[in-house]
Amino acid sequence: MAIRRICKYGDKILRKKTKQVDFKTVKKELKSILKDMLETMEAAKGIGLSANQIGLDLKLAIVRYRKSEEEFEDIVIINPEIVEQSGSSVSEEGCLSLPGLFAKTKRFTKVKVLALNEKGLPVELVAEGLLAKAFQHEIDHLNGILFIDKLPFITKIKLKPVLRKLKKEWAKIDESKQRKGNRATGDRVTSER
Ligand code: CO
C-alpha cells in the first residue's frame, strides 16, 4: 500500500483518454491499485479519484459516497459510461489535480452509469446530487476532461493567468515533496540497487 503522487494540471496523462480495462488482465493487480487509490484519495481528503490521476492509463475510478457523517461507501467504477442524464445545477467544484482551485460548475443533477464493479460484474448505478456530480467529474477525468473545461467562456479567460501561476506553484510543491521522499527512502533505494 502506498500513497501515490497525484498528477497535477499540466501533466499530459490527465488530458489523455484512458484505456478500456480488460478485467482479466488487471485482475491480479486490481486489489493493490485500488488500495493505493483509496489511500491516496483519503490522504488528500478527496471524494473521488481516477486512475490517471495517479499516472495509470486505465478507465477506472473510485467515488466515495457519504451516507451520513460516519457512514460511507466507496464505489469502484471500471469502464464507466453515462447512459442517461437529466436536470442541471450549478455548484462549486474542485479537483485534487487542481489543488486550491474552486469554481461554480454546471452538471446534470441525475445520471445513470453503466460500469463494472471491482469484481468485474456489470452494475447499473443511478445517482443524484453530490454522487451524480462525483460520477460526472471522475468519468470526465477518464476521458481527459477537467472541470475547468466545463466553465463558461468568460470564466475560462479570467482563469488563464491564475492557472499559469498555480501550475508553477504545484510543480514546485511536487518537486520539494519528491526530494524529501527520496531522502527518506535513500538508504533503501541504494541497498536495492
Ligand atoms: Co478531479
Under 8 Å between Cβ of 4 and 55: yes
CA 9 to chain centre: 12
53 C-alpha vs ligand 1 centroid, how far in Å? 8
* Identified catalytic residue from 29, 42, 138, 192: 138
Judge contact between 147 and 156, C-beta under 8 A.
Answer: no
Q: Tell me: pLDDT of 186 over 60.
A: no
Mean pLDDT of 79-101: 96
pLDDT at 185 over 50: no
Neighbours of ion ligand 1 (CB under 5 A): 95
What's the gap in Å between 193 CA and the centre of ligand 1?
36
User: 34-59: per-residue pLDDT in tens?
Assistant: 999 999 999 999 999 999 999 999 99
pLDDT single digits (tens) 113-139: 999 999 999 999 999 999 999 999 999
Look at the chain and report how many structural domains it folds into: 1
Binned at pLDDT 50, 70 and 90, residue 69 comes out as confident
Domain that holds residue 135: 2-190
145-172 pLDDT, tens digit each: 999 999 999 999 999 999 999 888 888 8
Ligand 1 geometric centre to CA of 50 (Å) = 7
Q: 70 CA to middle of ligand 1, Å?
A: 23
Backbone phi, psi, residue 149, to 5°: -70, -20
Q: Cell for 76? A: 469502484
Residue type, 165: K
| Domain harbouring 158, CATH code | 3.90.45.10
How far does the centroid of ligand 1 lie from the alpha carbon of residue 158, in Å?
Answer: 20
What is the per-residue pLDDT for 97? 96
pLDDT band at 183 (very low <50, low <70, confident <90, very high): low
| Mean of the per-residue pLDDT values of the chain | 91
Between the CA of 88 and the centroid of ligand 1 the distance, in Å, is 19
Query: Closest Cα partner for 12 from 60, 62, 53?
Result: 53
Whose CA is closest to 74, among 49, 106, 102?
A: 49
Instruction: Give this prediction's pTM.
Output: 0.90
3-state secondary structure the chain: CCCCCCCCCCCHHHHCCCCCCCHHHHHHHHHHHHHHHHHHHHHCCCCEEEHHHHCCCCCEEEEEEECCCCCEEEEEEEEEEEEEEECCEEEEECCCCCCCCCEEEEECCEEEEEEECCCCCEEEEEEEHHHHHHHHHHHHHHCCCCHHHHCCHHHHHHHHHHHHHHHHHHHHHHHHHHHHHHHHCHHHHHHHC
Sign of CA dihedral 108, 112, 116, 118: positive
Is there a catalytic annotation at residue 138?
Answer: yes
Which of the pair, 67 or 14, is modelled with greater confidence? 14
Question: What values do phi and psi take at 121, rounded to 5?
Answer: -95, 140
What count of Cα atoms within 13 Å lies in the side-chain half-sphere of residue 193? Answer: 6
